Amino acid sequence: MPTVTIDGIKVEVEKNATILEAAQKAGVWIPTLCYHEAVSRSGACRLCMVELEGGDQKQLVTSCNYPVRHDLVVSTTSEQAVKARCGVMELLLARAPESEELKELAERMGVLQTSFPTVTESQRNCILCGLCIRVCEEVIGQSAIGFAGRGVDKAVAGPFRQPAEDCIGCGACAAICPVGTIRIRLHEEEQEIEISPFKSRNKLIVCEECGAMIISAQVSEQALRKIESIFAEFPHRLRLCPQCRKKQTAKKLEESKVFHKKVTVS
Amino acid sequence: MISTDAKFTSPNDIAAFARQLRNKSKAIPKVVRVCIGTGCAAKDSRKLYELFQEAARKSSRDVRVETKNVGCHGFCERGPIVVIDPGEIFYQQVEEPDVAEIFRETILGGRILERLLFEDPLTGKKATKAAEIPFYNVQKRVVLSANGLIDPTQITDYLAAGGYSALAKVISSMSPEQVIEQVEESHLRGRGGGGFPTGRKWRSCREASGNGKYIICNGDEGDPGAFMDRSIMEGNPHSVIEGMIIGAYAVGAEQGYIYVRNEYPLAVRHLTGAIAQTRKRGLLGKNILGSNFSFDIRINRGGGAFVCGESSALIASLEGKPGEPRAKYVHMVESGLHGKPTVLNNVETWTNVPKIINNGGKWFADIGTEKSKGTKVFSLVGKVVNTGLVEVPMGISLRRIVEEIGGGVKDDKKFKAVQTGGPSGGCIPAEHLDARVDFDELTKLGSMMGSGGMIVMDEDTCMVQVARYFTEFLQKESCGKCTPCREGLAQMLHILTRITKGEGQADDLDKLKALAELLEGTALCALGKTAANPILSTIRYFQAEYEAHIQQRRCPAKECKGLFRYKIDEEACKACGICLKNCPVDAIVGEKKVPHKIIQEKCTLCGTCWDKCPFSAVLKV
Amino acid sequence: MAEESQLIDEIVDRYEGEVGMLIPMMQDLQAEIGYLPVDHLRYMGKKLEVPMSHLYAVATFYSSFRLAPKGAHEVTLCLGTVCYLKGAGEISQAICREFQVAPGGTTPDRMFSYNPVNCVGACALAPVMVVDGKYHGQVTMESALEILHGLSLEEQTKEATTAE
């Protein structure tokens, strides 16, 4: 197993682990945006740059996708590495000035403001990290959204920039979005879930007991297809909200013999 | 005797068939070669070809004339070009009415038509052959040697000229290891821009584990003003294919792809035809030349994205995806197309391979400089007298290219800079004109070899505008995947634009330099990493020009609108009234016989008066 | 639908269904129809088992692809400084209003594609409108609309009033 020396801390990692994984093991924090352990690496945001010291010359690399194949010496604190990460962050702040999540991360990195004006705005507050696209394709298996256009005009959208037809309303994109740009909106009246900004809408299942909105009908269907359950009531229980499900469980337990014995407290 | 369309089943068939073809061609005493490269074709050379064919057919004289479509001669400036053999008589700027006369006088009568010969603008000397023209005699044509001689649509022409003899040699007498050794000995470096040693690339791929290896030819020549690869693919497609087959043999690949820009329809057509002929002849497909080596090639067309010239983006495109580059921490020779070991070289690199095999690696290594061997093809364009395609030995000075081959700057203007390396290259000023053309030398000067674009600029070119133009180009072509390239280029363009509008700020140069450094260090691919070169090199050599824009709101080259004014030279003005009539905002006053004047307050600086004045009396000040 | 499937089947077969040949396939489709119609793309996606979002990403990444048909005519209006001073801005608005076309778009009847540009370098003719490569000088709101109303789907070039 190769050894990575990161800011002076030595850790052993599996061959082909990434520098970021080594850093996590060593307890060294490296800021990331387009990285998520649930999906493939992209190396798009360039925020996780570190400096490789091993070898004949120093080199800046992205830690999230640089594979460790032999012993490495890495610095996250070298002047070049810090300058690179802060520079990238300043560019991102200029692009998405309204994102609180981004500002928070910037502050943690010590970047309090950007020296750049906002000159690109193909999609408001989106940093085009692509996590939403990857989670939709690789984890959910829908590929409902994708990149549209290229360069400064790039955006994330459904096909033809229309409401994403293949969207099942699961909300994974909103959950994974690191800058809070993708939002879930519930439309009470129509009992629909909307994923903004993709304009896709999906019918929600309402709780058979109390009428509360629970989950998108398509997600429920997919869950039923994917999960094999020996529990006969599973499909029915999916149509209950968590509260009613709890109540029903309690009721059932009460009805069953288990609770017929009286418990006496002495 | 091998029948004319037979499949070759042994390496020996190649040489035998070539001999047969050469004997046959001796029987045809006269050959007319008409260039149908894109440059000449734009001036209707195809029509000339048809007319010559018709004339040959109708000729009552008992003389066999062969008319050939040939690829680009390189001297596009003087097209359409027609060469007549015997004698290699080089006619330039041939027009339709000339055909009958050429046929009668030169082909049948053996007399030379003086007026169609090239005349040296300095000495007034006429040149009968191409070799006598300075444009050609400084060049060393290895890659382009058969361009202009052979018909790219006929495999027999290529065979007669010794084509596929390198492949026959490889299959009959060389092991893959020996092929790689020859390429290593040649010190051939990639012609697409990076300059990576080709032999080392091949060796790594050969040694990489896994089967299903790929060979790729990068024909996605996207630099504005560059057409080296197009001319090779159009004019000599078999040389590319032969190089690829040899490469496949060396690394152990079974499938190859040629990725061509969709904007090059003629190249696609000629390559498609060449591949079909090659398959028929048993030079591609199963058991090539009767050996147990099999390899085939498919053509894939690009969709219009400059970034696809970058190897990992090209591969994404070959996989049917948007052309976004990816990290190359694991090299393509290990994991390239579809995750398989892949060798990718550009058109010109592949074309060099058969030459190296035939002449030996040492022969190639004897041409050029210590670290840059062989020749390099450049497309020489811009404000230069002779534009066209030139091939020179590595190590020649920029001055010889610009002044001797290019004939110097057009219209007696002063030379300002030569831009090499495409949009990510840099501008090299007059004081470095004696620099040698060499991978490392050009990089030291803040430019690069690139794929071979060479744009000459004169004193009227504003270097801030040049930087702005290339930055805008790259910003439009950035794939948008990584933050520094997408956002950084937009920021740099924003700053450059305001400088050219006279709104530059005191710290703009520092900001540009900081952004440039950020891009170089953090961008994902070579496009982003080198995107700041045009800015850095112009700041390096022409800082005073930037400062004039920023501090004095003045454009010294008088190109940036609003940063200079128009004035009428009273002595030169003939009071003809043309400027006055054409001024769209009535900003010019004057009467007959009285020199006109521009009322600066009204002038919108549109430049109409400057364009229209027949006496050049309107000045930019 | 039958027509679409036939054409796409033929194109896909041309490349033996190799997904890596998606871009040449789309080039071929565009060469046939002039642009990439949604229904054709949908069928192609199904056949190749490529999601629509992926096809759309490819179609919008590469500059040679068009997702809407081009108009029968190309209309360019110069919005350079001099033209703008002489009322090109108002003319542009009038064109958009009259023909329900957005800058860079095509009229609903596909009569023409409309592109306002920065400068065509013919300031002496300002305001300038270029129709199918032919320069119309000193246009007014009325004359511009008249020229455009005079376009027909059949003819490529129309008689025009150039300067003088």
For chain C, the domains span 2-61, 73-163
**Bridge partners (DSSP) listed for residue A10:** A5
The per-residue pLDDT for B36 is 85
| Contact in structure between B390 and B378 (CB atoms under 8 Å) | yes
B303 and C57 in contact by Cβ < 8 A?
no
Residue C81, pLDDT > 80, answer no
Chain C interface, mutation test: which of A134, A143, A153, A162, most C Cβ atoms within 10 Å? A143
Q: What is the mean pLDDT of chain B?
A: 92
- Summarised one tens digit per residue, pLDDT across range B110-165 is 899 999 999 887 788 899 988 888 888 888 989 998 888 899 999 999 999 999 99
Coil, helix or strand at residue B473: helix
Reading phi first (left if > 0) and then psi (alpha if -120 to 50, else beta), residue A212 is in beta
Architecture label for domain B566-620: 2-Layer Sandwich (3.30)
- Please tell me the distance from the alpha carbon of residue C127 to that of residue C141, in angstroms, as a whole number: 10
Distance CA B220, CA B314 (A): 8
- The interface predicted TM-score (ipTM) is 0.90
pLDDT at C164: 29
* Residue of B257, B262, B468 to mutate, testing the C interface (most C Cβ within 10 Å of its Cβ): B262
Over residues B265-280, the mean pLDDT reads 94
Q: What confidence score (pLDDT) does residue B264 get?
A: 84
d(CA B567, CA B582) in angstroms, rounded, equals 15
The subunits that touch chain B, with at least 3 C-beta pairs less than 8 Å apart, are A, C
Percent residues over pLDDT 90 in chain B: 68
The DSSP H or E segment spanning C78 is strand C73-78
Give the 3-state DSSP-derived string for B425-459, with helices as H, strands as E and coil as C: CEEEEHHHCCCECCHHHHHHCCCCCCCCEEEEEEC
Region A196-222 average pLDDT: 90
- pTM of the predicted model, to two decimals? 0.89
- Residue B254 confidence (pLDDT): 95
Greater pLDDT, B451 or A155: A155
- List the structure tokens of C77: 């209006």
The answer to whether residue B584 neighbours chain C at the CB level (below 8 Å) is: yes
pLDDT at B520 over 60: yes
Give the pLDDT of residue C163: 31
Contact residues for A258 (Cβ-Cβ < 8 A; gap 6+): none
- Which residues does chain B have within 8 Å of residue C23's beta carbon, measured at their own beta carbons? 300-303, 317, 320
Task: Find, in chain B, the residue whose alpha carbon is nearest to that of A43.
Answer: B327
Residue A215 is encoded by which pair of tokens? 């989950």
Between helices B176-186 and B198-207, what is the axis angle to 10°?
150
Greater confidence (A127 vs B592) lies with A127
Residues of A in contact with C19 (CB under 8 A): none
pLDDT at B486: 96
CATH superfamily of B16-137: Glutaredoxin (3.40.30.10)
Note whether B278 and B237 are within 8 A (CB).
Answer: no
Whether A152 has its CB under 8 Å from any CB of chain B: the answer is yes
Give the pLDDT mean for B22-28.
81
- Locate the domains of chain B by residue range: 16-137, 162-365, 375-458, 463-551, 566-620
Predicted confidence band at C160 (pLDDT cuts at 50, 70, 90)?
Answer: very low
User: 111-140 in B: which are within 8 Å (CB) of C?
Assistant: none
> Model confidence over B297-348: pLDDT tens digits?
999 998 888 999 999 999 999 999 999 999 999 999 999 999 999 999 999 9
- Asked if C59 and C36 touch (Cβ cutoff 8 Å), the reply is yes
pLDDT per residue as tens digits for the range B489-511: 999 999 999 999 999 999 999 99
Residue B277 CB contacts under 8 Å (≥ 6 apart), including other chains: B155
Min Cα separation C28/chain A (Å): 20
Comparing CA positions, the residue from B595, B607, B596, B597 lying closest to residue B565 is: B607
> Does the distance separating the beta carbons of C51 and A150 come in below 8 Å?
no
Pairing status of strand B342-346 against strand B213-219: parallel
Nearest to B479 among A43, A119, A150 (CB): A150
Cβ-defined contact of A146 to C51 (cutoff 8 Å): yes
Domain boundary assignment for chain A: 3-109, 131-249
More confident residue, C65 or B344: B344
Q: Are A88 and B518 in contact (CB under 8 A)?
A: yes
Q: Any chain A CB within 8 A of the CB of B339? A: no
Q: Measure in Å the smallest separation between the Cα of B324 and chain A Cα atoms.
A: 9
Q: Is the domain covering C73-163 a CATH 3.40.30.10 domain?
A: yes
Calculate the CA A202 to chain-centre distance: 21
Does residue C153 sit at the B interface (CB-CB below 8 Å)?
no
B31 bridge partner residues: B66, B85
CA B243 to chain centre: 19
Is the preceding peptide bond at B86 cis, omega within 30 degrees of 0?
Answer: yes
Inter-chain touch A60–B482, beta carbons under 8 Å: no
Task: Tell me the backbone φ, ψ of residue B346, rounded to 5 degrees.
Answer: -90, 170
State pLDDT tens for residues B365-423: 999 999 999 999 998 888 888 888 899 999 999 999 999 999 999 888 999 999 998 88
CATH entry 1.20.1440.230 includes domain B463-551? yes
Contact C65 B262 (CB under 8 A): no
CB contact under 8 A, B484 and A91: yes
Which residues is B409 bridged to in the sheet? B384
Instruction: Tell me whether B321 touches chain C (CB under 8 Å).
Output: yes
- CATH number, domain B162-365, options 3.40.50.11540, 3.90.1150.10, 3.30.70.270, 3.30.70.20: 3.40.50.11540
Domain spanning A3-109, CATH class = alpha beta
Q: Please answer yes or no on whether A151 and B475 come within 8 Å at the CB atom.
A: yes
B611/C64 CB distance under 8 A = no
Partner residues linked to A146 by β-bridges: A157
Contacts of B327 in chain A (CB under 8 A): 43, 62, 65-66
Bridge partners for B34 per DSSP = B69, B82
User: For B580, which residue in chain C has the nearest alpha carbon?
Assistant: C124
Least confident of A7-21, A162-176, B59-73, B333-347: B59-73
The CATH fold of domain B375-458: Ubiquitin-like (UB roll) (3.10.20)
Task: Give the confidence band of A261 by pLDDT, cuts at 50, 70, 90.
Answer: low
C53 touching B (Cβ < 8 Å): no
